[in-house]
Homo-oligomer: A and B are copies of this chain.
Amino acid sequence: MSAHSPVTPLDAGDVEHFDHETDVLVVGYGCAGAAATLEATAAGAEVIVLEKASGGGGSSALSGGEMYLGGGTEIQQACGFEDTAQDMEAFLLAALGPDADKEKVSLYSRESVAHYQWLVDHGVPFKPSLWNSPTWVPPTDDGLMWMGENSYPFTELAKPAPRGHRVTSDGFGGKVLMQKLSEAVAATDVAVHTDTYATRLIVEAGAVVGLVARQYGKTYTYRARRGVVLTTGGFADNAEMVAQHAPQLVGLGVNSDGGDDGRGIVMAQAVGAAVKHMSAGQVGISLVPGMMVRGMIVNSVGQRFINEDVYPGLVGQAALYKHGLKVWVILDEQAYEEVPVDERWGVQPHFVAETLEELEQQIGMPPGALVTTVGEYNRHAAEGEDPYFHKSATWLRPLKSPFAAIDVQRGIAPPEYGEAGRGGAEVFTIGGLHTTVDGRVLDLDGDAIPGLFAAGRATSGLHSWGYISGTSLGDGTFFGRRAGVAAASE
């Protein structure tokens, strides 16, 4: 590696001259970079944004556009939901744990309504209507959705309210979010250097004072008078880093723009930065929630393993980490018919059978596996109960012949759904740099590294092991803003 582009920091004394100089350098132009840029500029700092792609957007622009917000936003109110910062905090600590970042989660929850307003003030649109069923991305433009707040065990821990705020869009909302933030950036004096790949930091007496970047094969030096803000994303596209830190994600499909190579994390580590939760991953098995919640999901020996009405990413994590993705959705004809056509995403069952004995044989499960599991499920569902996993009674009904099964690993939607439709899982990494609530990057002694800031998936953010959709765009923009302010005032 080192022969190509070393990450070991350069001493400022070895820099002959700086090609560019500004107050704040923002590295990476996704949602966290845009938010940091806007706030650093608003605080009076001169900013240059470096982006390795030919334009801004990053993985943020390819995302569904959910923002996890709550505590009583106007969208929640318009849809008839009361919510408090305390309930939001309690839900997030449980869903993002064990050992989620308490200080960040608390601040993020308390200031969520204000952050919603900031987004709206920057032109980000949200529609006041609710999509009221577990799903990947609703096939509508409804602006609010549940993220499993109304499922066990979260119903026992906090008063449920839907907090998935969806950026209004024709299709995925991430592109609209990035379009609005980019328009706001374009209205400032900020310079955006595209096709520019930051490779190593420049340090002076223990402080970060700039960086080295490549553009079209040439190397340039940048000086940052106040600070460098790393918003370079996670490392899901870096196979070596995934193998070193999150081996269970090796070889899976990646949900990113292809550029989440972890360079920002490693550049910071090379100047002594600490990291957290590098093993954690979001695991999307995206297209089946509507069917799953009306039927069940089972492992390779036909056992259920979770209440199917939780946030689908929690099902994905359980499917990967507990069952190696060898999971099947089992349903009956009625369940299939009940899923709105738009929400089937074109998924067709791989197996159909009149009896469970036939179905388990077709799949290759042990004889008796599905007969036993569906038998138990039906016996309790007839009473409106799920004593095994506590799925809400809303979704409980005895399944009856004819039955069907979807092999989640095998490809579950037509090609137009891209990677997500190919089956298996789409993952990205959650761990990253250890930062304060102001985006200051901490070193191995727990001290802030002067001049160095980070936000978004380059940091470990709110999360520990758990993940909920909308917390990446959410903590990216929220802590990106704070990092921008802090860097500008350095």
Contacts and interface: CB of A to CB of B under 8 A. Distances in A.
A304 to B, nearest CB: 8
A270 B444 CA distance: 7
Contact of A244 (B250, B274, B387): B274
A464 B301 contact: no
Contacts of A243: 99, 464
A272 interface: yes
A414 to B, nearest CB: 31
A367 interface: yes
Interface size class of A (residues with CB under 8 A): 35 or more
A96 to B, nearest CB: 10
A279 interface: yes
Contact of A245 (B277, B380, B443, B446): B277
Given A266-B444, A445-B2, A8 B272 contact: yes
A98 B380 contact: no
One complex includes copies of this chain to the number of: 2
A389 interface: yes
Contact of A279 (B272, B279, B322, B445): B279
List of 3 A-B pairs having minimum Cβ-Cβ separation, nearest first:
A279-B279, A2-B445, A366-B387
Interface of A: 1-2, 6-8, 97-99, 243-248, 250, 266, 269-270, 272, 274-279, 301, 303, 321-322, 366-369, 372, 375-376, 379-380, 387-389, 434, 443-447, 464-465
Given A246-B279, A270-B272, A321-B321, 5 more contacts: A8-B444, A244-B277, A245-B276, A366-B380, A368-B376
28 contacts: A2-B445, A2-B446, A2-B447, A7-B444, A7-B445, A8-B444, A8-B445, A244-B275, A244-B434, A245-B278, A245-B279, A246-B279, A247-B464, A248-B465, A266-B444, A269-B444, A270-B272, A270-B443, A301-B388, A301-B389, A303-B303, A322-B322, A366-B388, A367-B387, A368-B380, A369-B376, A372-B372, A372-B376
